[in-house]
Amino acid sequence: MSTNLIDAGAIAAHNDTLLSQVGSDYAHLGEQLGRRGIDIERVRARVAAFGVAIPSWGVGTGGTRFARFPGQGEPRHVFDKLQDCAVIQQLARATPTVSLHIPWDRCTDWSELRQTASSHGLAFDAINSNTFSDQKDQAHSYKFGSLSHTDAATRAQAVAHNIDCIEIGRALGSKALTVWVGDGSNFPGQQHFRRAFDRYLDSAQQIYAALPGDWRMMLEHKICEPAFYSTVIQDWGSSFLAAQTLGPKAQCLVDLGHHAPNVNIELIVARLIAAGKLAGFHFNDSKYGDDDLDAGSVSPYRLFLVFNELVAAAHEGVAFDPAYMLDQSHNVTDPIESLMTSAVQVQRSFAQALLVDRAALDAAQDANDAMTATHLLKAAFQTDVTPLLQRVRLEAGGAIDPVAAYRASGYRQRVAVQRPAVAGGSGGIV
Ligand code: PSV
Ligand code: MN
């Protein structure tokens, strides 16, 4: 398998056409930031060190429970997925890691997979377990739950699967297990809320006990879907209770789409940081529910406000280490284009949050000067950091305009020749 998926010469040729423009835009931005007392080079160094993981399932076309419309050249297996992730990293240079989902990413030789990843310059982030759908030849069904199921044998099967995931993760160099369960109920009265939570805790404790010393267990909450009346790990409160019961290696993962509309996610983030329980993020955007839209495509300001909390905490010396991953469903776009765009959007929000004048904000907050405080945030958010991001990509060997370079490369058309067309029609992952 080639390690140079998009011809480096083609990327260089693409960059050449935009080089002088980026040079003068960057100089101008540097001058503007300089007037605000911000050293653009320091911001650039921090942004260059930032990375967000690609979910292996994100490179396939997504779908809804109504239908899935596969695109051209869909990845056939985990090696194809890795290759698509490598293209994303080659062009956008903001996604050095991949997060696998087991058993969707079946593989007979994990060390070969690890080597392939490393030949692409990629490493593995958190491993995700799946006890929300039944697999072929599975003894017990998850129709009525997994870690919280009323049946002990079903719970044991779900625990064993999570422990398998830890083993796979070890072989790949992962350091975290993300646990999201679809457990819940569809009818009032269907489930005894407290007993279901206790059963979940009991199962989670067994998984926790199998966790290597330097690993984290990231608990992902979700308000609804596939269970539409109640879910066992419904919100950050349930997630926090569970993480606290399990111990220091268990933390709460925030998927931006897993809350009721209008919930103040940045406030949840601040609370979890304060409690030392923020595991990290699954980034996406939403308007109505778990819409899995591209990160920042609807509410970029909300994404910025989340990063504002992260940057503020780091600035104040709080020790924490959030894991960043995209988790979105690409139903109408080429997944590679969406993932590159979202990675850059997340990187952009981080860069903008670095521009907030923290001393002035502290002073405005202390003086109860709401207008100045909010203007300070807006001043950072409204700064166009595009030239800075372009420069970061350029220095790292990526493309100034990743989507344009990708389209010009013909990668999708090339892989479509090797990868057979997939039939559409049925529902896809949600
Ligand atoms: C559930 O909606 C979720 O956000 C979890 O992270 C899953 O692992 C992923 O989506 C799978 O689609
Ligand atoms: Mn998620």
Q: Are 375 and 327 in contact (CB under 8 A)?
A: no
pLDDT in the model for residue 56:
98
Question: Residue 53 phi/psi, 5° resolution?
Answer: -80, 150
Could you tell which of 132, 327, 330 is best to mutate to test the pocket of ligand 1, judged by most ligand atoms within 8 Å of the CB? 327
pLDDT in the model for residue 4:
62
Could you tell which of 99, 256, 282, 324 is best to mutate to test the pocket of ligand 1, judged by most ligand atoms within 8 Å of the CB? 282
pLDDT in the model for residue 430:
41
* Long-range CB pairs of 311-318, under 8 A, 24+ apart, other chains included: 311/350, 311/353, 311/354, 311/356, 312/353, 312/356, 312/358, 313/270, 313/273, 315/358, 318/273
Q: Find the ligand nearest to 429 CA.
A: 1
Q: Which atom of ligand 1 is nearest to the CA of 101?
A: 8
Q: Which atom of ligand 1 is nearest to the CA of 225?
A: 2
Q: 179 alpha carbon to ligand 2 midpoint, in Å? A: 10
Structure tokens at 67: 């239908």
pLDDT in the model for residue 336:
98
pLDDT in the model for residue 406:
98
Place of tokens 């129709």: 143
pLDDT in the model for residue 2:
47
Q: 267 alpha carbon to ligand 1 midpoint, in Å? A: 22
Sequence-distant (6+) residues with CB within 8 A of 409 are 6, 7, 10
Segments of the chain with pLDDT less than 70: 1-4, 425-430
pLDDT in the model for residue 65:
87
Q: Are 330 and 342 in contact (CB under 8 A)?
A: no
Please state which architecture CATH assigns to domain 8-418: Alpha-Beta Barrel (3.20)
Q: Which residues line ligand 1 (CB under 6 A)?
A: 128, 180, 220, 222, 255, 282, 290, 327, 429
Question: Residue 364 phi/psi, 5° resolution?
Answer: -65, -40
Beta bridge partner(s), residue 53:
325
Q: 414 alpha carbon to ligand 2 midpoint, in Å? A: 31
- pTM as predicted: 0.97
Beta bridge partner(s), residue 220:
253
- Gap between the Cα atoms of 88 and 342, Å rounded: 11
pLDDT in the model for residue 425:
63
Structure tokens at 240: 């926090």
Reduced to 3 states, what is the DSSP secondary structure of residue 421?
coil
pLDDT in the model for residue 1:
45
Sequence-distant (6+) residues with CB within 8 A of 21 are none
Q: Which atom of ligand 1 is nearest to the CA of 255?
A: 4
